[in-house]
Structure 1
Amino acid sequence: MKKQISFSIAMIPVLVTITVMALTIVVLEQSPHIPLIVGTTVAALIAWRLGFTWREIEEAMYKGIRLALPAVVIIMLVGLTIGAWIGGGIVATMIYYGLKLLTPSLFLVSITIICAVVSLAIGSSWSTMGTIGVAGMGIGMSMGIPAPMVAGAIISGSYFGDKMSPLSDTTNLASGLTNTDLFVHIRHMLYTTIPGLLIALGVYAFLGRNFGNKQVKAEEIEQTLTVLQQHFVISPFLLLIPLLVIVLVARKVPAIPALIVGIVLGFLAQIFIQGGSVASAVQALQSGFSIETGNKVVDDLFNRGGLESMMYTVSMTLVAMTFGGVLEHTGMLEAIVKQILKLAKTAKGVVTSTIFSCVATNATCSEQYISIVIPSRMYANAYKEQGLHSKNLSRALEDGGTLTSVFFPWNTCGVFILGTLGVHAFDYAPYAILNFIVPTISILYALTGFSIEKLPPSEVSAQKNAHMNA
């Protein structure tokens, strides 16, 4: 017979995971996979002791994994895309023209805006980071800008578009789960996201001035351009490939077929434009592109990509979702959120608690989607009881859930960024300005009541009557 899970019992696997995670990552400097497996084991044992059968616990794990399968497919395709686009000279061409057109002092601002526009058009931060972001890392590092700073700007721009695009899966998920009209949801997010972007651009402009004053040697950039020309065929026509992918997704072609088109074209470009063999093109897809130019920056950037490079991220995603699945489907997460709701008895408390709950879910369940799904279910009635419009909940879910997933190296987003941009979450965190400024603004709005919209009294009364009659 299953027992009701108390808050104290539900917190055990969370606290165990956090403790083992801190020891493993900070002290032992190892990956977060094992701590999450330990946490999953503890959660499963507790569930078994409370009356859940092993079959039910297994099914909870599988439910978590099934939720992540679309992300797993995208992760693998991005690995293939990086390998194909590096081998096909597409990334080299983007870096070449980027170095010619962009200046160090304006680079951080420029790459943020470029990534914001692209992700707004295609609705995917991951696809933006895996394509435009990879080239942006090469350009910025070639200019002498530290990799964490470049990654932070790319992340800020990519997540702006991901959060605000009507094509984004998280945007549609947050609006759908809260029964909020999609464009009402997007308009309500403008209050927090636009100020966040402006602050981020201001910080990047300030940081860029330091690099404008620092002597970024023109000969070093020229050397990089020369190396690129020596080892790749540079042609503006190669830019049509990423442009085509962006256009396809913007025209509502699903991300998977659009990425496949980009992979095929990159594969063909490596053979017919770069003069590579079919075997080398297949190798770039499988294990990544390989090159030795003697230029450390170029070698570090271009020796990457391929399906195998994403297996760390895939395994991390599956392990994280296994842990999250057990916590959710055995009722442990619900027990934790119910305890939080006891403390949130006002409108400002409910909104603030939602944001913190999303952050905590990102930290413990290691998955962006769960950080939206679970709080949306748990807080829906609390918003109704406070007479708050559902768009307040949908915005809080995105401000607290979508954006903060990048700050945890064991979260699927943090792992993906490490795999694509090559920078650890703890390193780029101070520079992902948009991602921590927007939740901060959202909390300030909750505390002051600014832009927190309440339902008309007639709707509040109707909801209370319906709740009493239910």
Structure 2
Amino acid sequence: MLSSRQLGLIVALTITGLGIAYGFSIPLVYGFMVGLLTLIMFSLQAGSSWSILMRSMWEGVKHTKEVIWILGLVGILIPTWTASGTIPYMIDQGLAFIHPGYYLTFSFVLAAIISMLLGTSSGTLSSVGIPLIGIGALLQIPLPMVAGALVSGAFVGDRTSPFSSANQLVAASTGVTVKQQFQAMLPTTVGALIICFAFYAAIDVNGIWHANAHVHLEMQFVRSFAYSLWLIVPVLVLLSSILLRLRTRYGFLLSIGAAVVTGSVLQHVNMADWVQLMWSGYHPAAFPALKTKGLSSMLELMALIALAGAFNGILEAGRVLQPYMQKLLGTTSGSMFAATVRTALFGFGLALVACTQTLPIMMTGRSLMPFWEERFPRSQLSRVVADTSLITSAMVPWNLLAIVCGTIVGVPVEQYVVFAPFLWALPVCTLVWSIRHRERRVQHAL
């Protein structure tokens, strides 16, 4: 077992390494390696063997393979959608139908609706986020604002939809049903949605794009692409596959295949060009706005996610954190507000170190459930975990959840997070509701 001093050093070195790498634009892999190597060294000193560590790391990597697949396929999907004409077509059609005066509000609401149906942030951002980002750029709306609206909407479903794997994981980790969890989350969900709607409506009304809403933009790309309704097939394929609950990677692969077929027929892209743009990205000289990255630009991020999986594998297999759980969290003998604060801080700390969304949800829910049950309903723990551990991972720049979102919308998390109130309003709402819950308990006792 690692000592508290060793564990503290691992946490400090991991966060410091990632922070320095991020601040100086050094590949995050190098920054994360500092913490991972320290964890390996201390684990060996504590008596673990190389074979056990390697097995633990491999198990951890296997748990992240779906995210690695998604990230790599996003690097292929975006350039294929662009070269096939799908994204240019959707942008031009969107310019004709979307009212620019309330663009941020529209983007948030549409992303929220789609995410509730799909139950996935990555699928939502890929299917509707990419074209909406392109339209926002042409309307000269700051892209961090558009990205924030899209990410906020995407996480409405990622957290709340019964089809969301994250939502189901919270329920399973806290020992409640999805229905019980939804009822417990409803007050904070409504509060966060009201805050988001008011936030985007206020920005829209005061934005220059609202004053210029009467300006009509002509189609931008019609002269260079052959347009047809067939161009929306890749998007429909992706949406349909997710609605049918196929694994996300298969939906991406099917959509890429559909884009290649339509692009080959309508835009006459040959196979050699497809291979080149899938690897290097799409770089049209005539339209810099359509420039995209390819698979090669994703390799570093895919390696980071694999290393994060290895890190988590050691933590889970060695039960490194469990001996310190009660000491770190104390007891729930105080108010629900105090318990909520400790739970939120612990989940955020795990998000900083583990670089995943899964580990904070699982460890916070499973480890705290015995303490919460002493005084509070399990459903309230599920509400707190959903409003903190699930959401705050998306605000950590080196967390794989934030990396995937930022990669799809093309805007780093530190730029859009201010404009994504659903992420930071939920923790506030859940703290307020915990205070109100305590007050209601006191009034009931009187």
TM-score (norm 2): 0.92
Give the total of aligned pairs. Answer: 441
- SS of 2:207 mapped into structure 1: helix
Q: 1:266 aligns with which of 259, 270, 282?
A: 259
Distance 2:209 2:255 in 1: 39
CA contact (8 A) 1:144 1:216 kept: no
Select between 389-398 and 373-382 the one with higher mean Cα deviation: 389-398
TM-score (norm 1): 0.87
Residue 468 (structure 1) aligns with: none
Q: 2:84 aligns with which of 66, 84, 88?
A: 88
Distance 2:391 2:412 in 1: 16
Task: Read off the aligned partner of 1:239 and give its amino acid letter.
Answer: I
Residue 382 (structure 2) aligns with: 394
Post-superposition shift, 1:419? Answer: 2.0
Task: Read off the aligned partner of 1:431 and give its amino acid letter.
Answer: F
Distance 2:215 2:423 in 1: 35
Distance 2:383 2:324 in 1: 22
Distance 1:422 1:443 in 2: 32
- SS of 2:141 mapped into structure 1: coil
- SS of 2:27 mapped into structure 1: coil
Post-superposition shift, 1:305? Answer: 4.4
Task: Read off the aligned partner of 1:247 and give its amino acid letter.
Answer: S
Residue 304 (structure 1) aligns with: 292
Post-superposition shift, 1:451? Answer: 11
Residue 126 (structure 1) aligns with: 122
Alignment of 1:95-134 (within 5 A): 95-134=91-130
CA contact (8 A) 1:33 1:316 kept: yes
Q: 2:12 aligns with which of 11, 15, 18?
A: 15
Task: Read off the aligned partner of 1:106 and give its amino acid letter.
Answer: Y
Alignment of 1:45-444 (within 5 A): 45-212=41-208, 216=212, 221-222=217-218, 225-226=219-220, 228-293=221-286, 298-300=287-289, 302-342=290-330, 344-346=332-334, 347-386=336-375, 388-444=376-432
Distance 1:49 1:410, change over 3 A: same
Distance 1:309 1:213, change over 3 A: closer
- SS of 2:250 mapped into structure 1: helix
Q: Unaligned stretches of 5+ in structure 2? A: 442-446
- Aligned: 1:41 with 2:34: no
CA contact (8 A) 2:86 2:232 kept: yes
Task: Read off the aligned partner of 1:272 and give its amino acid letter.
Answer: V
Post-superposition shift, 1:284? Answer: 3.0
Post-superposition shift, 1:271? Answer: 0.5
Distance 1:415 1:85 in 2: 21
**Root-mean-square deviation (Å):** 2.4
The Cα offsets for residues 155-204 of structure 1, whole Å up to 9 and x where unpaired, read as 00011011121221111111122221122222322221222122112111
Distance 1:144 1:335, change over 3 A: farther
Distance 2:436 2:159 in 1: 23
The Cα offsets for residues 273-322 of structure 1, whole Å up to 9 and x where unpaired, read as 222222223333333223111xxxx524x221433232232112112222
Distance 1:146 1:320 in 2: 32
Task: Read off the aligned partner of 1:254 and give its amino acid letter.
Answer: R
Post-superposition shift, 1:219? Answer: 7.4
Task: Read off the aligned partner of 1:24 and give its amino acid letter.
Answer: A
Distance 1:103 1:220, change over 3 A: closer
Distance 1:196 1:242, change over 3 A: same
Post-superposition shift, 1:81? Answer: 2.0
CA contact (8 A) 2:100 2:213 kept: no
Distance 1:200 1:186, change over 3 A: same
Residue 433 (structure 2) aligns with: 445
Post-superposition shift, 1:336? Answer: 4.2
CA contact (8 A) 1:408 1:414 kept: yes
Same amino acid, percent of matched pairs: 23
Distance 1:439 1:175, change over 3 A: same
Distance 1:142 1:344 in 2: 52
Post-superposition shift, 1:231? Answer: 1.9
Distance 1:249 1:217 in 2: 34
Distance 2:439 2:275 in 1: 53
Distance 2:107 2:227 in 1: 21
Distance 2:339 2:35 in 1: 28
CA contact (8 A) 1:151 1:421 kept: yes
Distance 1:87 1:51, change over 3 A: same
- SS of 1:322 mapped into structure 2: helix
CA contact (8 A) 1:352 1:446 kept: no
Task: Read off the aligned partner of 1:207 and give its amino acid letter.
Answer: I
Distance 2:320 2:372 in 1: 22
Distance 1:257 1:67 in 2: 17
Task: Read off the aligned partner of 1:257 and give its amino acid letter.
Answer: Y
Residue 444 (structure 2) aligns with: none
Distance 2:231 2:439 in 1: 45
Distance 1:345 1:370, change over 3 A: same
Task: Read off the aligned partner of 1:260 and give its amino acid letter.
Answer: L
The Cα offsets for residues 386-432 of structure 1, whole Å up to 9 and x where unpaired, read as 2x222222222221122111211111012222322221111111111
Distance 2:238 2:57 in 1: 34
CA contact (8 A) 1:83 1:305 kept: yes
Distance 2:390 2:417 in 1: 15
- SS of 1:332 mapped into structure 2: coil
Residue 22 (structure 2) aligns with: 25
